[in-house]
Amino acid sequence: MDRRSFVKAGCIGSASLLMQGLDPMLRADTVPSVAPQVELHGLPDYKRSPLGMPGLFPGKVIEVRDPKAIVRNRISQPIVRRLLEHAMKNLTGENSSLDAWAKFIEPRDIVGIKINPSGAPACCSSPEIIREIIAAVQLLGVPSRNIVVYDRYSYEIDIGSYQALLPTGVRIVGIQDAFTGTGAGYEPNVYCEADFFGEWETRSYMASIVAHEVTKIINVPTMKDHSASGVTGALKNLAYGTFNNVARTHRAPYSFTNPVIGLMCTVEPLRSKAVLHIMDGMRQVWHGGPLTQVQDFIEQPGILLVATDPVALDTIELEAIEKKRAERGAPSLWQHDSSSITADNNEFFHNAAKNLFFREPGHIAATGKLGLGVSDLKQIDHRLL
């Protein structure tokens, strides 16, 4: 069995823990030069959809907020319902919530809801928001069995208790188990290939559920900084939650999340199927993301951001987290100062001046240049409601 067959066969588990950089001791030996060539292989002959990124409303971001939406870390279901309806009507210009949702979803669709449970329980896609999305999709006539709430790691979904908290009939799928590699599987013909740090496996495969099963994706990222990519928003939630073997793109302290995040989002059918992005800003992590449990760095602003353009959405998120870091005296996400780098996870989690990587938030603008959206703040129609 060659190395690629080994990974495809499902032995991703313990081997990938090292390959993906989950071992905190794994560090780059040398300074990498430029980003390597990344080879993309989408689903052959897939017809691109006009609903795909940047979608029906390029450059438009709707922001709704209510400080009562989250009080002492508890989210109000009725307020979330009202905020989401308000945002959807304003995004689409429709008078009814039903008509707004109907612009994206048809009754015959198989709807994937891409959550972000990493960081659970402190900050993850809120079950209250997912419930509202499910209710809206069901009102359009999509049966529960055709709604799939999914993410990469099943054990993170477990920690978030999504299984217990979401309505009956809806499927909840972890694509793989982080610790053993078993799970729903990956499509061997759809992948991104590059050698970043001389890693053993140089391909990242697209999840089969995205490649073949769902027909539309509603992306529900959280509002968080990220130690390697600067922020984890709509783009990273889609890319690194859809392809496997992605942690290999950043080996402390260096990161190739730019350009990989954007490139992965261009791969069909992911680009076409991701029709709507609803960013959960009930909680906002401004340091320690994506996995921190330290409440000192987690605000509770009670925000929802809605867009079809993930680049514009992430640009707004990046600005918000930069602003919060500046208010708190933390260095910019753009700072590349070697004195700020630490190899000590504990120091990183408790000191906002420290980081594990040189962050690369330029992936957002780079993705804009690939045609997936608008990254120029002056051109973004950011509506605060």
Residue 97 beta carbon to other proteins: minimum distance, rounded to whole angstroms: 23
Q: Does 344 bind other proteins (CB under 8 A)?
A: no
The answer to whether 310 touches 56, Cβ cutoff 8 Å, is no
Amino acid, single-letter form, for residue 278: I
Residue 293 beta carbon to other proteins: minimum distance, rounded to whole angstroms: 5
Pick between residue 31 and residue 164 the one whose CB is nearest to other proteins.
164
Binding other proteins (rule: CB under 8 A), the pick from 11, 159, 365, 370 is: 159
Q: Does 96 bind other proteins (CB under 8 A)?
A: no
Binding other proteins (rule: CB under 8 A), the pick from 5, 96, 189, 293 is: 293
Residue 44 beta carbon to other proteins: minimum distance, rounded to whole angstroms: 32
Binding other proteins (rule: CB under 8 A), the pick from 5, 96, 161, 379 is: 161
Interface region with other proteins, contact rule CB under 8 A, candidates 119-127, 242-250, 277-285, 366-374: 119-127
Q: Does 122 bind other proteins (CB under 8 A)?
A: yes
Residue 31 beta carbon to other proteins: minimum distance, rounded to whole angstroms: 33
Cα Rg, the chain, nearest whole Å: 19
The answer to whether 52 touches 310, Cβ cutoff 8 Å, is no
Amino acid, single-letter form, for residue 117: P
What x-and-dash track marks residues 40-79 binding other proteins by CB under 8 A?
Answer: ---------------------------------xx-----
Pick between residue 161 and residue 379 the one whose CB is nearest to other proteins.
161
Binding other proteins (rule: CB under 8 A), the pick from 167, 189, 296, 327 is: 167
Q: Does 141 bind other proteins (CB under 8 A)?
A: no
Q: Does 169 bind other proteins (CB under 8 A)?
A: yes
Beta pairing partners, 381 = 60
| Residue 143: count of CB within 10 angstroms of its CB | 12
Q: Does 346 bind other proteins (CB under 8 A)?
A: no
Q: Does 24 bind other proteins (CB under 8 A)?
A: no
Question: Rounded to whole angstroms, how far apart are CA atoms 168 and 369?
Answer: 42
The answer to whether 381 touches 59, Cβ cutoff 8 Å, is yes
Binding other proteins (rule: CB under 8 A), the pick from 78, 121, 141, 143 is: 121
Question: Rounded to whole angstroms, how far apart are CA atoms 61 and 383?
Answer: 6
Q: Does 6 bind other proteins (CB under 8 A)?
A: no
Beta pairing partners, 230 = 226
Q: CA of 384: how far to CAs of 90, 215, 284, 286, 305, in Å? A: 10, 31, 17, 21, 9
Pick between residue 97 and residue 154 the one whose CB is nearest to other proteins.
154
Helix (H) or strand (E) segment spanning residue 236? helix 234-242
Q: Does 208 bind other proteins (CB under 8 A)?
A: no
Question: Rounded to whole angstroms, how far apart are CA atoms 269 and 214?
Answer: 10
Question: Rounded to whole angstroms, how far apart are CA atoms 20 and 251?
Answer: 9
Nearest-10 crossing angle of helices 127-139, 77-92: 50
Terminal alpha carbon distance of the chain: 57
Contact residues for other proteins, defined by CB under 8 A: 13-14, 73-74, 120-122, 127, 154-155, 158-159, 161, 163-169, 177, 179-180, 182, 293
